Structure 1
Amino acid sequence: MSLAAVALRAPEPATKLLLVDDDAVDRMTCRRALTRHMSGEFELIEADTGEEGLRLVRTEKPHCILLDYKLPDLNGLEFLEQLSKAENGRLPPIVMLTGTDDATVAVEAMKRGARDYLVKQADQPGVELIPAVVRRVLREQDMMEEKLQLEDELRRAGERYRNIVEQIPVITYVMALDEFGTLLYISPQIRVLGYSADEWLVSPQRRLDQIHHADRIGFLQKLAASRADGADFSCEYRLLARSGFARWFRDNASIVRDESGKPLYLEGVMMDISENKRVEEELLAHSSRLEKLVAARTTELEQANERLRQELAERMQAQAHLDYIAYHDHLTGLPNRLLFCDRLEHAMSQANRREQFVALFLLDLDHFKQVNDSLGHSMGDVLLKDVAQRLKSCVRESDTVARLGGDEFAIVLEGLSHIDEAAGIAQKIVDTFAQPIGVDGHELLVSMSIGITIYPFDDDNIEDLMRDADTALYRAKDTGRNGYQFYQADMTTATMEHLSLRTELHHALAREEFVLHYQPVVNLRSGDICGVEALLRWRHPTRGLVSPGEFIPVLEQTGLIVPATEWTLRQGCREFAAVQALGVPSLHLAANIGVNVFNRRMRKPEFTRTLARILEETGVKPGNLTLEITESTLMEDTENARLTLGELKALGVHIAIDDFGVGYSSLSYLRRFPIDVLKIDREFIREIGVKPDATSLVRSIVEMGHTLAMTVVAEGVETAEQLRILRECGCDQMQGFLFSKPLPLDALRQLLKEGRRLSS
C-alpha cells in the first residue's frame, strides 16, 4: 500500500517532515500533535512501509524524518542502515518512534544515525514531545551545518595565508623572547642555506650556532635591547650555509603582544642581502684605490675618472642584475609572479583606455610529476626550459609569458579586439605541444591544460581573475586535459550544445544513424586497389553528416566509443563480405579492411573474443582484416598492449600502426610489437616536395618499415608530385584524395566494378 503526500499547510512550506509508520492511528495522533504546536511551519509527508519511506527520502528530500521502529517490511534499524548506504552516511535528522521503552534499541538507533528516541505509549508523553524534539533536532542540524561551513572557511583561509607566506622571496620566522632567540617557526625559504625548516627547529640554539662568530655578539646585544625596552628588532649578520659559505641577511622583527600589552614573541623577516654587501665592499675598495691615486698622481686624473665611470657602470649592471633576479624565474628566465602581476595590471589599465580586452591564461603541464619521478628533476628542468621557449613562440612580443612556480605557467594577452583571438592562441599552444620534445635522447610527448579568463568580462581585479583562470584550468583537467577552457560563471550556449550532442550520440546507435565510408588503399607497384579503410560517419537526422572531429572526441569522453567501435567492426566486416561476394576482379588479391581501433576499446579484456565472434558471424577471414592502432595506444600500457596484440596475431588478423610519426616514432619500440603495416601520417606526406628534409624523413620511415618486414602505407596523398616521390622512396601503398575520397558503400561498389586503377 502506498500513501500520497499529505500537505497540512499552504504551498511551499519551509520544512518538509517525513512520517514513516504503518499504524494509521499513530500517524493521525502524530499529525494532530504537530498541527497543534507547529501549524503553518511544515509540510508532512507520510509513508506506511519502510520501502515507501526510503523512496520518499530520495524524491522529496525531507528536512526531518519521524521513523517508527516496527514496520511491516523492515525495522527502524534496517531502515537506518539502508538509508545510510544510499546517502553515503549523510542523513537528515531522524527521530525514532517506538511503542516500548527499550534502552538497547534506543542506543543502537543512536549509533546508526538517529538524533533522538521517543516512546509513543499512551502513558508516555512521547507524542506530545514530537514538535519540540523536531524543532530541536532541526536547530541542531542548522548549527552543525553552520559549524562545518565555518570550519571549512577557516581551513581555506589558513591554507591561503600559508601559501602566500611560503611563496614570498624572503625567510619569515617566529622567535621566542628568550636570551638565545629560540625559533618557534621558520618558513621553507630557509632552503637557500641548504637546510630544511625542520632542521632549524630541532635545536633551540640552531640559528645562534649558524650566525658567523664575528656577528654573534652584536646579534645578542640587539636582541637583549629589544627584550629590555620592548622595541622592534633589526640587525644585519652573516649565516653559515651547509656548504660552509656565509651569506648576509637583513633581519627585521616586530614584537607581538597580547590584549594586555604583554610581549609574546617576535615575528620577523630575513632578506638575503649578500649580493648588495658584495657590491658595497667592491665599491668601497675601488673608491679607496681611486682616492689614493688621485691624491698621489694628479697627472693621471683623467684615467682615474675613467676608471671611476667604469666602476659606476659595474654597479649599475650589478643592480640591474639584482632587479632581474627579483622579477624573473631563475630556471627559465621568464618573468616571475611579481613581474607577471605588474604586467597584468598594466595590460588591464591599457585595455580600459583603449576599450580592448585582456586574456589571462593559467597553464599546467599534464602529468609533469611522472617525468620527474621517472627521469629525475634535472631532466624535468630541461623540459621546463623547452616548454618556456615553446610558449614564447606561440605569442606576440607584446604578450607576457611567466612561470609562477613548478610546472605552472601564465600568459597575458593584451590589446585583444575579439575573444576568438585568445582561443586561437590557446589552440596554437595545444597544437605546438602535440609535437614530441627531445630531452637527452628521450622523445617526450607532453600536453598542456589551459584555463582562460577575459578582462573585463569575467572580473575586474587581479586576484579574482587569477581565481577565475584557476577554476577554468581545473575544469580543463577534469574534461580530459590536453586542451583549454574559458571561465564561465553559468552554463553557456556552447555547453548546452555539447550536452545536447552527448544526448543525441546516446541514441545514434539505436536509431541506426551511424554509417561507414570507405577509402581505397592502392598498391603503388601494380596500381590496383588492394584494400579499403572503414571510416565512421554520423548521419544526423537534421544536420546531415557531422564531422568526425566533432563527435568522436565526445564518444571517447562518454565511453560510447566501446559500442561504437564494436558496431564499426561488425558493420565493416558485414559490408566487406558483401563486396567480396560480388566477385569483383580487382579484389583477387587478399583485400584488407583497416578499422580504426580506439584506445578505450583495446583495453577491454574481451576484445579478442568479440572480434573472433564478429569474424565468424560475417564470414570474413582473419587475414583480410587489418586493425589500425595509434602509437599512443601501445605506449600507454606496453605490457597489456603486447599481450592483446599477441592474441590478435594468434587469431590471424593484421596489425597496423596508424598516423606513424606523431608519437614516439622509435625503431626500438616497434620491434617489441607484432606490427604488419606502418601508415605514415598525412602531415609528413603534405610536406614532401615542400620542405627539403621531408623526403629524406619519409624515405627513412619506409626503409625502417622494410627493415622490420612491414608494409608501408602513405596516408593523405593529394598531388602527383607526392605520388612520384613516394614511388621513388619505395613506399608500398597509398590512400588519399589523389585517387579517391572516402566513399559510401554503393559508390565503392561502383568504383570496384569499373576496375579503376592508379595510373603509372
Structure 2
Amino acid sequence: MLPTATALATQRLAEFLAVVSRATDAGTATRVATERAARALEAEVAAVLDVHGKVACSVGFALGRVPVAALHEVVAGRQERIDVPGAGPCHAAATPVGGSAPGHLLVARSGGDGFNVDEISLLRGMARVLELTVDTLRTFEAERRQAAENARLVTSLRERQRLLEQLSRIQRAITRREPLPRILDTITSATQELFGDEAVGLRMVDPDAPDMLLLVSSRGLSDDMAKRIWRVPVTDRGVSPLAFRLDRLVVMNDYAGDPNALPELVANQIVSAMAVPVHDSGRVVGSLAIGSFRPDRVYGQTDQEVLRVFGEHVSLAVTDAKTQEAMYQAFHDSLTGLASRALFLDRLNHALARAAREDTRLAVLFVDLDRFKNVNDSLGHSAGDLLLVGVAERLRACLARDDTAARLGGDEFAVVLEDVTDDDQVVRVARRIIDRLRAPFVLGGHEAFVDASVGIAFNTDSQDDGQALIRNADLAMYQAKKNGRGLHETFHPALRARFLRTLELEGSLRHAVDEGDFVLHYQPIVDGGDRPLTVSVNLSARQLQRTDLPEFVSAALARTALDPTCLIIEITESLLLHDTAATMDRLRRLKALRVRVAIDDFGTGYSSLAYLRQFPVDIIKIDKSFVAGDGPDASALARAIVHLGRTLRLSTIAEGIETAAQLADLAGAGCEYGQGFHFARPVPAEPLAEMLDLSSPVPPPGLVPA
C-alpha cells in the first residue's frame, strides 16, 4: 500500500533532520537545508533570507539572477508566484525561521498546482529543524571561543543533541507505522530521557467524552497513582488540564504552593512540573507534562524552550499517526460503537481502584441475548448486525451518563455501574435492560424478538481485579439462563463452587469416555406388569439439533435390522421449546421412518397442551414424582395425565413404579405401560439377556442404542 501524503511528509522531515543535523557549522547547515528543502518539495529553486531580507543561501537560480524583490513580496504574503529565470512562472511558499538567526525559508516550483497543506507543514518543520540546528552550531561556535565556559558548552551541546536524537526516535516510530500504544510510549520515554526527570505523562481527550482527559501513557508514576489520575476533567487542576485549556506552556516551579496543583501529585511529593499542549491538525487534543521530585529542580527558559519545541514535534507525530481516530478504533466496538472489551476492562480496573480508595461500591452487569441465533439463522447475519446495533442503542438509553457499556463479543454485553448505594438500584437497572430488550426489533421489515439474561456481580472490599468481577457476573448470567429466559441473577460464592463442581464432573465424564468406563444399562418397559416391550432411546439436546438426525437413525435401523416400530425416541419437554421449526421438521422425518416419539418426564417442565397437539408425539411418560409421590394430590395428577393421554389418543408410560399398589392404582386409571424397580432394576446387557431368556449374551438388535 502506498504511503499517505502525511506519512510521506513525515518521512521526508525525518530524512531532512538526519542530514542537516550532521552539519559542522551554521553556513553548511543553511546550505544543506536549502538544497534538501528544494529536493524534498520537488522545487526548482530555494533560498534562505536573513532578517534583513538578504539572500543568505540559494539553489537553482542562475548566478547573479536571484529576483530578490519578488522573494520579498512572497515573504510579505503579497505574492504567491515569482518568475524564475529559465523556469518561468512558479508557485512559491515561504515560512519563518526563528532562533538566533531569524529569516525565512522559501521554495518555488513550476506546474499548475501550488503547495498543499502537507507540503506547507513539511516546509515549516524543516524551518524549525534549521533553526534548532543553527542555534546549536552557533552556540558551539560562540562558546568555543570562550574556554572559560567549556563545561556549559559540552552540556548545551549534549542536551540539544539528545533533543535531536529523541525527535528522530519518535519520527522513526511513526514512519514504521508502529502500533499506537507503542508510539505513545515512545513519546513519554523520549521525554523522560531528554529531561532526566522522574515523572512524565501524556494526556489525550477521551474519545467518548470531550470534557475528559485520559492518561494514555506515563513514566515514573506508581500503578496506583496512574490509576488515580487516569481520567480527569479538562476543568480539573494540574499542569496538564491547564496547558490544555490555555493552549500554551504552563510552568509550576513551586508545585505544592500553586493553587492549580493537583492534590494527588502534591501528596505524591511532586516539587515542580510543566506541560505543553498537544495538537492534532491545529486543534488541541491533549498535553505533555513532566514533573520532578528533586527539591532543587527549577524549569528555566532553556527547559521551557526545549519542551515547547518537543511538544510541537509531538503534535506532528499525533497528527500523522491519526491518534484520535486510532484511539477511538482501539477502544470501541466497530459495529455498535460501545466500548471494547479492552476499554471496558481498563475503566473497570480504574473504577475498582477508586472504589477501594473512597470506600464505595460498584456493580458489573453481564448481559447475554436469548434467541439471537434464531435471528441470524432466519433473517441473515446483516439482520443480526442490525439487531446488535439496536441492542446497543437501547442499552445506552437504560444507563446514566457516567455508566460504561461495552460489547464483549458476539451477543454478549457488559455494564459497569459506579457509586452504587444499594442492591435494588442495580436490580432496577437490570430489569430496565430486560424490559427494553424484550420489545420487538424491526429488521428489514420483519419483527424480531429476543430476551436478555443478566448476571450481576458487586465488588468486595479488597477486590481490584476487573477480570474476576466480569467472570462472577458471567457465572450469575448463566444461572439466570438456567432459571429461564429474561431473568437476572446476582452472584454469590456458591455459584462459583457449583461451577467448579460442574467442571470437575465434566472432566471426570470426559476421562471416563476416553477410558471406556461407561457401561450401558437397560430397564424394560412392560404392559400390565408381565410382558417386556421394545426399547426406548433418550436423545440429548445436542443430538436433537443434528440436521442429519433422521438419516443417522435410519442408518442405525438398517445396520441392526430392527423393525422401526420397535424403536421409541424419548425427548424431554424443554427440548420442544428450542428452535421449534427445525425440531418439528426432524421429528416429522423420524415419524416418516415409522419410529415412535415419547415425551420423557412429563409434568416436570412446561407441560403445554399446545405442543402435545402440534408435535408428532405418540407417548407420554409420567414422571416418577407423580407415581411415587405421597398423598392424594400426586396420585390425582398421575390419573389426570393418563386421562389427558387417552383424550389426545396418546399412550402413557408410568415411570418409577416400585410397589404393587402403585401399579394397581395406575392400571385402574387406564395407564397402559409401566417402568420401575417393581419390574426390574437397570442392568447391563448380559443380565438383561438372561432376564429376557435370550440365548446370546449380546443384546438383541432392538436393545442396541441408536
Please tell me the TM-score bracket, short chain as reference: 0.3 to 0.5
Structure possessing the higher radius of gyration over alpha carbons:
2
Relative to the length of structure 1, the TM-score reads: 0.32
Relative to the length of structure 2, the TM-score reads: 0.35
RCO higher in structure (CA 8 A, sep ≥6)? 2
